[in-house]
């Protein structure tokens, strides 16, 4: 086999003249048709480009609607998975009535905040109190030893009723400070979980039984009306609140802006982010 | 139209067509193995040339010719791979078709052997033996390495030797 054989083989493949003319004619016709189609064909703009502006407006409107819906609906969402370690009881009408007394303690501008807060109470209490501050246990309850920063070294240990002493005073102070920024949010969550039944007890039990505090020789009580963080003036110290059975609950005490300490205090229960108004009952 | 010194588009295309139709048709026939498909592929190739008009002109007539041959072989490969062609082959593979030996242009045993080569050898064999391109020119035309072109050529020659006997001359 020689190169010439291959060349001759290829040369034998030649279209005849008729075929050449036929192909040329077909090519010219196809070319002309293609050019006519190209000129007659409207611009092929994708639909999403044509409706770009409308799509943008609709998308923006949808986002706005979604944000508005979330804004309206979100306050009604139940915050069952709250970080609080206790169960919020049902609000009682009795406490709601006493809320008026609390708002009497607050200044005029506090009324709006007080109106937003919800007080709670419960008759169930099976809690054991934690804390290093030991309170005196009396059968009639309501005696609490409070500890100020200045009086910290004067803590007197009396009858012991604590079953656990989990947290130190220093630790509880830190915890309280770290939760201060969430006060407003927690107020809302407490309000939205009012339908939760008292079926179980968390780490700190039911704080709403611990309504008795003694501070600087004065007795205070509360209807669990809340105040906002913005109303908190100074931290007065730490102490314990007691229930009717003498159980204690570690608390932090704050003075309220515009309210003399002799008239009322703000109490923050350890493990809770809310500030409750305690007013002097003596 | 088609290369830089061309006077006008129509004349340029006519000139290119007359000058290269044989080469393009041969390449197309080598792939398609029948006149009708070869003519269709050749037409498509020259339509590509018309579409190319304006976007780029060729440096020379040989450049234009090489471009046409490569485009023709690509079109043929695409057509052979297409679904319609494969379906049609299924239909054509019946006993009603005439014996391949009756096809006039394929009575040449060398041509038969070349047409039976795998597709990847045909263009290289054609460019090398008929168009007398060098391996470097073929490599530039088909976008492969020169060593690859040599390898393809060697294997193509071996296949032809097996079918026809005797060794093909090397340039």
Q: What is the 3-state secondary structure (H, E, C) of chain A?
A: CCHHHHHHHHHCCCCCHHHHHHHHHHHHHHHHHHHHHHHHCCCCCCHHHHCHHHHHHHHHHHHHHHHHHHHHHHHHCCCCCCCCCCCCCCCCHHHHHHHHHHHHHCCCCHHHHHHHCCCCCCCCCCCCCCCCCCCCCCCCCCCCCEEECCCHHHCCCCCCCCCCCCCCHHHHHHHHHHCHHHHHHHHHHHHHCCCCCCCCCCCCCCHHHCCEEEECCEEEEEEEEEECHHHEEEEEEEEEEECCCCCEEEEEEEEECCCCCCCEEEEEECCCCCEEEEEECC
Nearest CA in chain B to A19: B39
3-state SS, chain B, equals: CCECCCCCHHHHHHHHHHHHHHHHHHHHHHHHCCHHHHHHHHHHHHHHHHHHCCCCCECCHHHHHHHHHHHHHHHHHHHHHCHHHHHHHHHHCCCCCCCHHHCHHHCCHHHHHHHCCCHHHHHHHHHHHHCCCCHHHHHHHHCCCHHHHHHHHHHHHHHHHHHHCCCCCCC
A-B Cβ pairs (cutoff 8 Å, strict):
80
Residues in chain B with pLDDT values less than 70: 1-10, 53-56, 83-107, 166-171
| Intrachain domains B1-97 and B104-166 with the same fold | no
Contact A12 B105 (CB under 8 A): yes
Residues in chain A with pLDDT values less than 70: 1, 39-44, 74-205
pLDDT, chain A, mean: 65
Domain range summary for chain B, segments of one domain joined by +: 1-97, 104-166
Contact A3 B168 (CB under 8 A): yes
CATH 3.30.70.2340 for domain B104-166, yes or no, is no
Contact B110 A1 (CB under 8 A): yes
Contact A13 B50 (CB under 8 A): no
Give the pLDDT score at A143: 39
Closest CA to B25 of B39, B37, B36: B39
Select from A7, A13, A26 the Cβ nearest to the Cβ of B43.
A26
Give the pLDDT score at B113: 86
Nearest CA in chain B to A18: B39
Q: Which residues of A touch B14 (CB under 8 A)?
A: 24
Chain A positions contacting chain B at CB under 8 Å are 1-3, 5-15, 19-20, 22-24, 26-27, 30-31, 34
Contact B160 A23 (CB under 8 A): no
Distances (CA, A) of A169 to A65, A143, B23, B114: 49, 19, 99, 98
Closest CA to B136 of B56, B58, B66, B45: B66
Q: Which fold has domain B1-97?
A: Rna Polymerase Sigma Factor; Chain: A (1.10.1740)
Alpha-carbon gap: A12 to the closest alpha carbon of chain B (Å)? 7
Give the pLDDT score at B85: 65
Give the pLDDT score at B45: 92
Specify the pTM: 0.43
Q: Select from B27, B44, B46, B109 the residue whose CB has the most chain A CBs within 10 Å, as the one to mutate to test that interface.
A: B46
Alpha-carbon gap: A46 to the closest alpha carbon of chain B (Å)? 24
Give the pLDDT score at A66: 92
Q: At A223, phi and psi to the nearest 5?
A: -110, 15
| Cβ atoms of A176 and A270 closer than 8 Å | yes
| Pairwise CA distance, residues B24 & B3, whole Å | 17
Contact A23 B22 (CB under 8 A): no
Nearest CA in chain A to B109: A9
Q: Which residues of A touch B103 (CB under 8 A)?
A: none
């Amino acid at each position: 086999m020689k190169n010439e054989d291959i060349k001759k083989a290829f040369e034998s493949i030649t279209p005849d003249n008729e075929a050449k003319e036929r192909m040329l004619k077909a090519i010219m016709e196809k070319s002309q048709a293609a050019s006519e189609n190209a000129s007659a064909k409207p611009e092929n703009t994708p639909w999403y480009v044509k409706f770009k502006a409308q799509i943008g407006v609709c998308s923006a409107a949808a986002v706005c609607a979604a944000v508005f819906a979330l804004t309206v609906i979100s306050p009604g969402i139940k915050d069952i998975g709250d970080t609080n370690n206790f169960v919020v009881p049902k609000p009682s009408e009795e406490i709601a009535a006493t809320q008026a007394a609390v708002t009497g303690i607050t200044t005029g501008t506090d009324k709006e905040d007080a109106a937003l807060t919800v007080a709670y109470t419960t008759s169930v209490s099976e809690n054991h109190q934690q804390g290093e501050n030991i309170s005196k246990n009396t059968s009639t309850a309501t005696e609490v030893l409070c500890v100020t920063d200045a009086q910290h070294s004067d803590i007197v240990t009396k009858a012991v009723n604590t079953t656990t002493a989990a947290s130190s005073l220093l630790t509880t102070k830190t915890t309280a400070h770290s939760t201060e920024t969430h006060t407003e949010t927690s107020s809302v969550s407490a309000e939205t979980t009012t339908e939760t039944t008292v079926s179980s007890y968390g780490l700190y039990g039911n704080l709403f039984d611990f309504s008795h505090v003694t501070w600087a020789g004065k007795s205070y009580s509360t209807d669990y009306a809340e105040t906002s963080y913005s109303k908190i003036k100074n931290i007065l110290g730490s102490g314990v609140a007691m229930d009717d059975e003498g159980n204690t609950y570690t608390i932090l005490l704050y003075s309220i802006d515009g309210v003399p300490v002799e008239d009322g205090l703000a109490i923050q229960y350890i493990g809770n982010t809310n500030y409750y108004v305690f007013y002097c009952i003596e | 139209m088609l290369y830089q010194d061309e006077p006008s588009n129509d004349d340029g295309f006519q000139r290119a067509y007359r000058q290269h139709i044989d080469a393009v048709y041969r390449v197309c026939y080598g792939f398609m193995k029948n006149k009708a498909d070869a003519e269709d592929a050749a037409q498509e190739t020259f339509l590509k040339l018309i579409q190319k008009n304006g976007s780029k002109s060729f440096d020379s007539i040989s450049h234009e010719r090489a471009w046409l041959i490569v485009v023709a072989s690509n079109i043929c490969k695409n057509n052979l791979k297409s679904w319609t062609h494969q379906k049609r082959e299924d239909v054509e593979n019946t006993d009603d078709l005439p014996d391949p030996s009756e096809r006039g242009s394929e009575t040449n045993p060398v041509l038969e052997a070349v047409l039976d080569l795998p597709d990847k050898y045909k263009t290289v064999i054609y460019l090398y033996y008929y168009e007398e391109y060098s391996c470097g020119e073929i490599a530039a035309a088909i976008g492969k390495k020169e060593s690859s072109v040599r390898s393809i050529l060697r294997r193509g020659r071996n296949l032809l030797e097996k079918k026809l006997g005797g060794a093909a001359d090397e340039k």
